[in-house]
Amino acid sequence: MIEELQLLSNPKSRVAEAVKTVRTNLEFSIVDSKNTKIMLTSTAPGEGKSFITACLAQSYASTGKKVLIIDCDLRRGRQYEIFGVSNNKGLSNILISDLEGVKIETIKTKLKGVYLLPGGTVPPNPSELLESQKMRDVVGMLEDDYDVILFDCPPVIGLSDSLIVTKYVDTTVIVAAYKTTPTEMLKKSVKSLEAVNARIAGVIFNKVPSSSKGYYSKYYDSYYE
């Protein structure tokens, strides 16, 4: 497992507290489902959505919940790197196989209560696989076995993959990067998600230095004007 998740080893650390706040807000926003399905996406690569997904999974698991991460980034997924597991078999391989009588095997990670379904072999048609009936069937087969399922999805801009996955989840979270994500691109991502009737829980601003409160507030306000 790479060092990223070690940031949460101290429950009182700044990162752990921030992720706990996100988790708590999500729990209040999703109160009707017996299990919780959350999609995390971004506007562009490199904004930290996979890191945030892994951190959020650990935070949910710390409350005693059984958590599954599904890496829906079939193009450049990195959850297998974060958890140090093989990516030879995963979601894409399942979606091209016969599901009849099959039990979907997930990977038990080194984090207690956190399981992973990697993206698998990079397919030639990621969008088509995610939009298939088999994808809906896979989600249906998995949702009763886990309290929380986190869908780590590709960026919204330029790809339809995340827009497709919105129909399988309860809510969507957008991850943006401090002083990196242009406000206009963030607005465009929101509009794209709203166009497919996605329920957006909010935006997580990642990589914010502890001394940047003033800029953070300014950036946040400018987005919501």
Q: What is the pLDDT of residues 22-51, one digit of tens each?
A: 898 888 877 666 679 999 999 999 898 998
In degrees rounded to 5, what are phi and psi of residue 114? Answer: -110, 125
- The pLDDT assigned to 27 comes to 85
- The yes-or-no verdict on residue 215 having pLDDT over 50 is no
Q: What is the pLDDT of residues 130-179, one digit of tens each?
A: 999 999 999 999 999 999 999 999 999 989 999 999 999 999 999 998 88
Strands (E), 89-147: 107-108, 114-117
- The pLDDT assigned to 21 comes to 87
Residue with the larger pLDDT of the pair 189 and 32: 189
Q: What is the pLDDT of residues 61-116, one digit of tens each?
A: 989 999 999 999 999 999 999 999 999 999 999 999 888 877 899 999 989 999 99
- The pLDDT assigned to 214 comes to 44
- The pLDDT assigned to 223 comes to 33
- The pLDDT assigned to 19 comes to 87
Q: Parallel, antiparallel, or unpaired: how do β-strands 107-108 and 114-117 relate?
A: antiparallel
- The pLDDT assigned to 102 comes to 78
Residue with the larger pLDDT of the pair 206 and 93: 93
Residue type, 99: L
- The pLDDT assigned to 218 comes to 36
Range among 5-9, 23-27, 130-134, 216-220 rated most confident? 130-134
How far, in Å, CA of 202 to CA of 58, rounded? 20
- The pLDDT assigned to 219 comes to 35
SS3 117: strand
